[in-house]
Amino acid sequence: MILEKTREQITGTLEELSANIDYNSKEVAIILAAGHGKRIKSHKSKMLHSIWGVPTVERVYNSCTMGNNSMNTIIVVGIKAVDVMKVIGKRERNVFAYQEVQKGTGHAVQVALEKLDAGKFDGVVYVLPGDMGLIDPESIQEFKRNFINSGNDMMVLTGIFDGPVAQNNYGRIIRVKDKDVKGKNSGADEGKVIEIMEHKDILALAENEPYELEYNGKTYHYSKSELLENREYNSGVYAFKFRYLMELIFTLSSDNAQNEIYITDLIYAFNHANHSVGASSPSKSYVVMGFNDKSVLRDMENLFRHNVYESLKNIIEIDDPEDFFIEEGIVKQIIEMDKKGTPLDIRIGKGVHLGKGVQLNYDLHLKKHSFIEGGVRFGKGVTIGEYTHISTYPDQIMELRDNVQIYSGDMVKGNVILEENVTIESGVIMTGSDEFPIRIGKNVLIKGTTYIFGSVIEEDVFIEHSIIVKKKVHKIVKRDGEVQKIRFYAPMPAGIDCIESIDNKH
């Protein structure tokens, strides 16, 4: 049991971040995010592990609501509840439900349904696992259409296993055959889901005895080999007509080895109550992937990266398709730029990180392992060197205007404007704050081991091996027409009494 103080914190956060159900909407998605995931071997909740920079539970939430502004959501939290709730934050038509003790997926749905007023809601309930980080809005919309058009009362979203049969450890979807054991046509029942059978239970079957199931007064036989070779598996995504779900979900028993309530038991309950159960598979098979360990999470990340590369490979140059990061908003930005018909001439080096908030421009070269994130605005013809770090603090803007060149290993951070044709050679660190921004004029050249904070530098100035802190640097033209260069400028030292030359001891 959790400590009383922790319970109060969870309750307070839940009340603070939960909005209200919109009962004018006829749809609600329940996202199961209460589990921790022991096999992921992390102090962080499994649901907060990221795919392409976004926690998986947030990806599932976004996919449920993007393109469907009327969808209600109920997110079931449990272990690390406060962490999960704070990542999602307060959203319209979203409420959180707290599953204090994890008693199975069916129990989690029961906890979620307590947040709905059955007298006000009568529509469709969708259930999704919070670790399905590759699910996208298009696949959810496809599943919704299939459910509505099928006329079924319950539907399971299934995956198709494409590896060797011997490696398929998923529970199998068992459907009604076209004919029963007597050879009679199944008619409209054909393809209905009778049961989900776990892999270990299939292995325990006798080799030569058929597995027998009853459905709608007919008997069907399935051989052990037939079940093992069945590639259709349960993804953990469901759709229900609400009134039938409410009728049956609270009748489920925890009388099993784990003492848990399983959502899969609803298939038997629906069939026994003469409510039809169907299944459909997504057009993109990978979207139903979930993860229990770090290796599968890495596979999902690689799949996402591959999809990003495929969407951009004929628009920009990406030096290494297996080693780059371009945040999704920037991916969309690149695609929109391409629609204008002008070649982008953008090149992304190996290991480049392009994070949220960055605005690109034409003729941009980001060399290998450069890191750019935040409110960075690029001009045209900008080059960023290897291993460079460029970023802003929240709500800040940095402008790197046309033909700016930043060499390898530099760091530029915060409220900064570099005017046209500025060159920052290797060894430079620059930081601008809200109170003390950096403004550097056109054609400035900065080189050597130099640190600049919160300063204004006029155009055409040359600075080398200097420390410039909260200064105004003027452009002074000498009699011969040359601009005065600034070298080896540094503030007065402090603590000089603590330092002596080693040479003095010899």
From the list 366, 387, 378, the residue with the least C-alpha distance to 319 is 366
Confidence band (pLDDT; 50, 70, 90) for 3?
A: low
The two structure tokens encoding residue 482 = 């040359």
pLDDT value of position 257: 74
Report the distance separating Cα 59 and Cα 301, nearest Å. 13
- Let me know how many helices (H) and strands (E) the chain has, helices first: 11, 36
- DSSP E strand boundaries for 161-312: 172-175, 193-197, 211-215, 218-222, 232-241, 277-280
The mean of the pLDDT values for the chain is 95
Taking the CA atoms of the chain, what radius of gyration do you get in angstroms? 30
Same structural domain, 254 and 337: no
Q: Which residue is listed with tokens 């050679």?
A: 425
Contact 326, 295 (CB under 8 A): no
Which residues, in sequence order, are CB contacts of 211 under 8 Å at separation 6+? 197, 205, 221, 222, 223, 224, 227
Query: What is the pLDDT, as a whole number, of residue 256?
Result: 78
Q: 151 in a domain, yes or no?
A: yes
Average pLDDT over residues 359-367: 99
Least confident of 130-139, 416-425, 497-506: 497-506
Q: What is the DSSP letter of 505?
A: G
The 3 state secondary structure assigned to 294-310 is HHHHHHHHHHHHHHHHH
Residue 164 in tokens? 């060797």
Residue 444 lies in a domain: yes
**Cα–Cα distance measured from residue 432 to residue 367, given in angstroms and rounded to the nearest whole number:** 24
Establish if 347 belongs to a structural domain: yes
- Check whether residue 235 and residue 353 sit in a common domain: no
Residue 166 confidence class, pLDDT cut points 50, 70, 90: confident
Block residue for tokens 């209200």: 20
Is there a contact between 84 and 13 (Cβ–Cβ < 8 Å)? no
Find the domain containing 377 and state its range.
313-497
At residue 505, does pLDDT exceed 60? no
Angle, CA 247 vertex, CA 246 and CA 249 arms, to 5° = 60
Same domain flag for 341 and 426: yes
Tell me if 351 sits within 8 A of 372, measured CB to CB: no
pLDDT band at 504 (very low <50, low <70, confident <90, very high): low
Same domain flag for 278 and 319: no
Q: Are residues 157 and 83 in the same domain?
A: yes
CATH code where residue 106 lies? 3.90.550.10
Q: Which pLDDT value is given to residue 170? A: 86
Backbone dihedral region for residue 448 (phi beyond 0: left; psi -120 to 50: alpha; all else: beta):
left
| CA separation for the pair 322, 307 (Å, rounded) | 11
Beta strands, E only, 107-153? 124-129
Of the CA atoms within 13 Å of residue 50, those in its CB half-sphere come to 7
pLDDT at 247: 96
Helix (H, G, I), strand (E, B) or coil at 400: strand
Alpha-carbon gap, residue 458 to 468, rounded angstroms = 13
* Tens digits of residue pLDDT in 318-340: 999 999 999 999 999 999 999 99
Please name the residues in contact with 473: beta carbons below 8 A apart, sequence gap of 6 or more.
455, 456, 457, 458, 461, 463, 486
Amino acid at 428: V
Q: Is 156 exposed, middle or buried (0-12, 13-18, 19+ CB in 10 A)?
A: buried
267 and 349 in a single domain? The answer is no
Parallel, antiparallel, or unpaired: how do β-strands 193-197 and 172-175 relate?
antiparallel
pLDDT tens figures, 88-112:
999 999 999 999 998 999 999 999 9
Indicate whether 301 belongs to any domain: no
Please say if the pLDDT value at position 506 is more than 60: no
Check whether residue 245 and residue 327 sit in a common domain: no
Tell me: do 239 and 364 sit in the same domain.
no
Taking residues 181-198, report their average pLDDT: 93
Q: Which of 45-49, 289-293, 358-362, 403-407 has the lowest mean pLDDT?
A: 289-293
| Domain-located, residue 355 | yes
d(CA 375, CA 357): 5
**CA-CA distance, 352 to 385, in Å (whole number)?**
11
User: Where a domain ends, among 288, 305, 329?
Assistant: 288
pLDDT tens readout for residues 233-286: 999 999 999 999 999 999 999 887 778 999 999 999 999 999 999 999 999 999
User: DSSP string of 340-371?
Assistant: TSS----EE-TT-EE-TT-B--SS-EE-TT-E
Residue 1 has pLDDT above 70, yes or no: no
Same domain, 278 and 337: no
Instruction: Please indicate, yes or no, whether residues 238 and 97 belong to a single structural domain of this protein.
Output: yes
Is 337 within the bounds of a domain? yes
Which of the four pLDDT bands, split at 50, 70 and 90, describes residue 64?
very high
Name the pLDDT band for 143 (thresholds 50, 70, 90): very high
**Residues shown for the chain:** 506
In this structure, the answer to whether residues 488 and 347 fall within a common structural domain is yes
Expressed in angstroms, the distance from the first to the final Cα of the chain is: 70
Task: Answer yes or no: is 304 within a domain.
Answer: no
DSSP 8-state secondary structure symbol assigned to residue 492: P
CB 346 within 8 A of CB 324: no
| Strand 462-464 relative to strand 472-473, pairing | unpaired
Q: Among 15, 29, 113, 16, which Cα is nearest to 70's?
A: 29
pLDDT at 167: 86
CATH of residue 348? 2.160.10.10
pLDDT digits (tens, 9 = 90+) for 254-266: 887 778 999 999 9
The predicted model scores a pTM of 0.90
Residue 415 contacts residue 397 (beta carbons within 8 Å):
yes
Query: Which pLDDT score is estimated for 6?
Result: 86
Three-class DSSP labels, 56-71: HHHHHHHHHHCCCCCC
Counted domains in the chain: 2
Tokens, residue 260 = 């848990």
DSSP secondary structure letters along 184-195: -B-GGGTT-EEE
Q: What is the pLDDT of residue 2?
A: 56
pLDDT number for residue 292: 87
On whether both 483 and 366 belong to a single domain, the answer is: yes
Average pLDDT over every residue of 391-407: 98
Residue 5: predicted pLDDT: 63
Q: For 14-63, how does the pLDDT look when each residue is reduced to its tens digit (9 = 90+)?
A: 999 999 999 999 999 999 999 877 888 899 999 999 999 999 999 999 99
Give yes or no for a contact between 324 and 318, defined as CB atoms under 8 angstroms apart. Answer: yes
Classify residue 354: in a domain, yes or no: yes
